[in-house]
Amino acid sequence: MQPRLRLFTGEDEALDMEPLKVKISFGELSHILLEACRKQRAFLRDFDDDEVQLTDDLYQVLTAYCRLRPGA
């Protein structure tokens, strides 16, 4: 993925644009996040309040996993 640079001139219309949306596979995302969590990367905290959209089935699996009791 090539980074995109934008020049902000201070005009209000530039602030009204919606953020760019990028599609990425869940597998690729999970590998990136797992590695960042293992190395305790500080940038992860920058996104604590951001919302993430999930498919309904993935959401159900994740919430069911969170409810599981850890093994004895």
- How many domains are contained in the chain? 1
* 4 found inside a domain: no
pTM, two decimal places: 0.61
The mean pLDDT value of the chain amounts to 86
In sequence order, the 6+-apart residues with CB closer than 8 A to the CB of 4 are 20
CB of 26 closer than 8 Å to CB of 58: yes
Residue 72 and residue 69: Cα distance in Å, rounded? 9
In terms of residue numbers, what domain contains 63? 12-67
Residue 26 in any domain: the answer is yes
pLDDT digits (tens, 9 = 90+) for 11-34: 656 566 777 888 999 999 999 999
Contact call for residues 36 and 28 (beta carbons, < 8 A): no
